[in-house]
Structure 1
Amino acid sequence: MQPLDVVTFGEAMAMFIANEPGRLHEISQFTRELAGAETNVAIGLARLGLRTGWASKVGNDAFGKFIIERLQREQVDINHVLIDNHYPTGFQLKSVVTEGDPEVQYFRKGSAASHLSPADFQEEYFQSARHLHMTGIPLAISEAARRFAHHALTYMKKNGRKVSFDPNLRPTLWSSQDQMVKEINEVAFQADYVLPGIAEGETLTGYKEPRDIASFYLDMGVELVVIKLGPEGAFYKTASEEGMVPGFRVEKVVDTVGAGDGFAVGVISGLLEGLPIHDAVLRGNAIGSLAVQSPGDNDGYPTRTALEKYMENNLQGVKVYESNHC
């Protein structure tokens, strides 16, 4: 088995994007794309040249075949993708808006991915990777997927691998906010790197200031916390240093979905390559800013060459970072 730089897992869906603005029930023509936070990260990392694998289940149907073929085309390893003959692949509908967030409707209940369980876990596959990236979505879609997530986390930590965690909160998938906060934080406390958005951080910790949110997780043993602040950039903190990294100027926001996953791509790839934290976060801001300028969830994710050119062209006159040692 070929070694991997990063492995991730979760649910992928076929996504149908409206071809024109309007309410979803009024739209007659859609364009099919791929959706899924973890597949977004896998695709983004693969485009930067990292060896990336994605583990999941898809139905034995047209949507499942589409997902597999799309990931293969993106050079994401799919040797841990299982075909389920009993349950379908989920899908979603997504509107087009002139400003703000699009309307999204999900058709995912009882999907093949929601039946991913610890019995499906392939040790050899996960052991081949040097880093695990997780989101909070598998924790929410089913009890079975939640157990798979805990099993993967425990296994990778036991084997000395680093783990990054993006809460990626989906309140509608949880029975209550209290349960969501409890389950998400249980995983976050075991991760090495935690990457919440500012609103997610407030929900999960009760604090509003980025420094306080970060300290909450650092006190629980997390190594690095990076908090996404939208156009303002991001704040990071470890036990010994902290800093603000500005965002990149964007003239027109087309679609914000996928920006957080693109941010994770930048941070994870940078840390794996040994960049200083502020440089890794700056890369995350760059990819996040590219993501919001395209309609699909991962259309804007760059190749290595495109990323370097974009950062070079957009850094002139920008204060790269502010940091200090705690």
Structure 2
Amino acid sequence: MSKFVTFGETMVLFEAATQGRLRYVPSFLKKIGGAESNVAIALTKLGHSATWFGKVSDDEMGHYVVREVKAEGVDTECVTYTTDAPTALYIKEHRREEELAVYYYRHDSAGSTLTKEDLAYEKIADASILHVTGITPLLSDSCYEAVLAGIQCAKEHGTFVSFDPNLRFALIHKLGEEVARQRLVTIAAQADLILPGLDEAKWLFGDMEEQDYLTKGIELGARKVVIKNGGDYSLFKDEQGTGKVNSFRVKQVVDPVGAGDGFAAGVLAGLLEKKSLEESVRMGAAVGALVIGVKGDIEGLPTRKEVDAFLCDDNKVYGGVSR
């Protein structure tokens, strides 16, 4: 039994092998990336069992995605396949040092055809945590219905529900801002843990003071709320109280994509281990700091040994002050 289960679209990633505009790039590195599978992979590296499933095309790209996720130790036995739609792709462009652009090709993809009939309900029922993001419910109406059905199953079986809004504005603009907001707030109101960035909280709930977003999340029904303020700090609130955890500073940001997923995985790993929310947020901050030093969505995800060593390193920089 996996303690952690998640579902959503994982894409094939083509990352430019050299800097410069794509028109001048002669070769690419083939990888994978997807918010939900990133978190599942991160949790396995942190020592926890994890299940990911989704819908991919029954072709070489689809089988490549599943093989790569499975190779990281994630349970993929409930993935479904279709011959009616392609596996989504995205491309990373490194125009110059520390300037990254990402292009998505996911319109009418296999992942967007996921339905509530494709869900592995038995996995959700048996898990300790179900993690969902704000990406999947915006892919299509059937994906939104699937997310709601997954949450309902979790609620019926006492599975803790984690929600990371993970806003993708290309999807939001295509669907319509008001419809997208209504969907994500509906999901947030059913989550036990809400993990938005400060800018995401503002988009979801309007302009408020930072502390008010914590209160808003609790008023919606969440048991725990974490608000991330970029690389500076995170605020948190639960039944034990309210607090702040400063971020760890890094010397160089190589690739910020995937840092939020690493942060979420660190928080969730802490909760699985019955740590306090403050300790869990600190672990999330450590994972996020380690992720951004390596190119790729999953390549920089640290092992538990690396995270523990990082947290014990007296020479690291924490909250802008050397410890």
What is the TM-score when the length of structure 2 is the normalising length? 0.94
**Aligned residue runs from structure 1 range 151-300, under 5 A:** 151-174=149-172, 175-300=175-300
Shift of residue 40, structure 1, vs aligned partner: 0.4
Superposed CA offset, 1:73-100 (max 9, x none): 1010001101212211111111124455
Say whether residues 1:120 and 2:113 are aligned partners.
no
* Matched residue type, 1:15: L
Structure 1 pair 235–30 and aligned structure 2 pair: CA distance change class (3 A): same
For structure 2, which runs of at least 5 residues remain unmatched after alignment? none
Superposed CA offset, 1:208-233 (max 9, x none): 43211111111111111101112212
What is the TM-score when the length of structure 1 is the normalising length? 0.93
Q: Distance in 1 between matches of 2:317 and 2:143?
A: 46
Give the conservation status (yes or no) of the 8 Å contact 1:218–1:239.
no
List structure 1 segments (4+ residues) > 2 angstroms apart after TM superposition. Answer: 97-101, 207-210, 314-320
Per the alignment, in what secondary structure is the counterpart of residue 248 of structure 2?
A: coil
* Matched residue type, 1:248: F
Structure 1 pair 317–249 and aligned structure 2 pair: CA distance change class (3 A): closer
Per the alignment, in what secondary structure is the counterpart of residue 219 of structure 1?
A: helix
Shift of residue 238, structure 1, vs aligned partner: 2.0
Q: Distance in 2 between matches of 1:63 and 1:217?
A: 39
Say whether residues 1:149 and 2:147 are aligned partners.
yes
Give the conservation status (yes or no) of the 8 Å contact 2:259–2:288.
yes
Q: Alignment identity in percent?
A: 36
What is the match of residue 4 of structure 2?
6
Superposed CA offset, 1:242-291 (max 9, x none): 11101112000111110000000000000110111111000000000111
* Matched residue type, 2:243: G
**Aligned residue runs from structure 1 range 77-92, under 5 A:** 77-92=75-90
**How many residues are aligned here?**
318
For structure 1, which runs of at least 5 residues remain unmatched after alignment? 321-326
Per the alignment, in what secondary structure is the counterpart of residue 255 of structure 2?
A: coil
What is the match of residue 324 of structure 1?
none
Structure 1 pair 101–188 and aligned structure 2 pair: CA distance change class (3 A): farther
Structure 1 pair 317–70 and aligned structure 2 pair: CA distance change class (3 A): closer
Give the conservation status (yes or no) of the 8 Å contact 2:114–2:146.
yes
Note the aligned Cα RMSD (angstroms): 1.7
Q: Distance in 2 between matches of 1:316 and 1:112?
A: 43
* Matched residue type, 2:220: M
* Matched residue type, 1:294: V
Superposed CA offset, 1:140-170 (max 9, x none): 1111111111100111011111010000111
Per the alignment, in what secondary structure is the counterpart of residue 22 of structure 1?
A: coil
Structure 1 pair 15–169 and aligned structure 2 pair: CA distance change class (3 A): same
Structure 1 pair 18–316 and aligned structure 2 pair: CA distance change class (3 A): closer
